[in-house]
Copies of this chain bind each other. A is one copy, B any other.
Amino acid sequence: MEMKSVTRSLRVLEAVARHQPVTVGELTKLFGLPKSTLQRTLVTLNEAGWLRANRKDTTRWEIGARVLAVRPAALQGSSLFAAAREPMIRLRDAVNETIHLSVPDALHGMVVVDRVDCDHAVRTFHSIGDTSPLHATAAGNAVLAHLGKSEIDEVAAGTLEGYGEETITDPGQLRGELHRVRERGYAVNHNQYLQGVCAIAAPVLDSEGTPLAAVAVSLPDSRFEPGRLPELGRLVAETAAEITARHLA
C-alpha cells in the first residue's frame, strides 16, 4: 500500500503552500529529489488544477483555487463555518481578544479553521490550519469533555505529552479537569501548551451532543485576569450555544 507518487505529490502540494511562490530548484533543496521528478509532479498537479504558475514569474508555482472546492467534513456545506462567523465577530467585539474556531481531527488534535483578530498590539497568533493537542488546550478540553467515555479513555491512555509546568500529564487529573469543564460549560488553558498563551473555550455540539468544534478566546498571559474568568466563560459558552443554534437551523 504505497502509492509513492501520490504521497509525494501531496507533500509537494503542502510544501508549495508554505513557500509559495516557489521554484523547482527551491523544492529540490527541500526534498533532496531529482529536478525531473519534482517538475513532473508540479506539471501534473498543475494540469489537475491544484497548482498554477505565478502570473508574473511563470517559473514560480503557487496553490490553485481548486483546493477550495475540497472542504473538511466538519465544515460541510459550510454551514458550521458560516454559522460561526458572525457570533465570533460579536464575541471579539465584546472582549477585544482573538477568537478561534477549531475542529477535532481524528482524535489526535484540534485544527484551527477560523480566526477573528483583536486590535491589541500584543496578541496571540495561530494560523488557520495549525494543530494543537487535545489534552493541553482549552479548545481540546472543551471537545474532549463531551466525547464518549471510550474516546476519552483512548486519549487518556495515550501519552499525555508535557509542554511545560502547567500541562496536565496525569490521566486521572485530566479526567477531573474534564469533569469540571462539563460542569461549568467552558474550558480554561493557563499556559498549559504554549508559554504565555491562555484561552477559554466552549464546545459546539450537534443535535446528538457530539462535539463538532470549539470556540475559544485566546489571550496573552499578561492580560489574563482570573477575576474575569466567570464573565469570559459565560460569554464564550453563550457564543458556542448561538453557533450551535444557527448551525442546526
Contact = CB atoms under 8 A, between A and B. Distances in A.
Interface of A: 1-3, 5-7, 9-11, 13-14, 16-18, 20-21, 40-41, 43-45, 47-50, 52, 54-55, 62-78, 82, 85-86, 89, 103, 105-106, 111-113, 115-117, 127-131, 210
B6 A48 contact: yes
Given A72-B64, A113-B65, A48 B17 contact: no
A130 B70 CA distance: 10
Contact of A85 (B65, B78, B85): B85
Contact of A9 (B6, B82, B105): B6
A78 B6 contact: no
A7 B89 contact: no
A14 B64 CA distance: 14
* Oligomer copy total: 2
A151 B109 CA distance: 44
23 contacts: A5-B5, A5-B6, A6-B9, A6-B44, A6-B48, A17-B71, A17-B72, A18-B73, A20-B73, A20-B76, A54-B73, A62-B76, A63-B74, A64-B106, A65-B103, A65-B105, A66-B111, A67-B74, A77-B127, A78-B115, A78-B127, A78-B128, A85-B89
A193 B5 CA distance: 39
Contacts of A128: 68, 71-72, 78
A129 B20 contact: no
A183 to B, nearest CB: 25
Contacts of A130: 69
Task: Give the top 9 A-B pairs by smallest Cβ distance, nearest first.
Answer: A69-B129, A62-B73, A17-B73, A65-B105, A65-B111, A3-B44, A68-B129, A17-B70, A63-B73
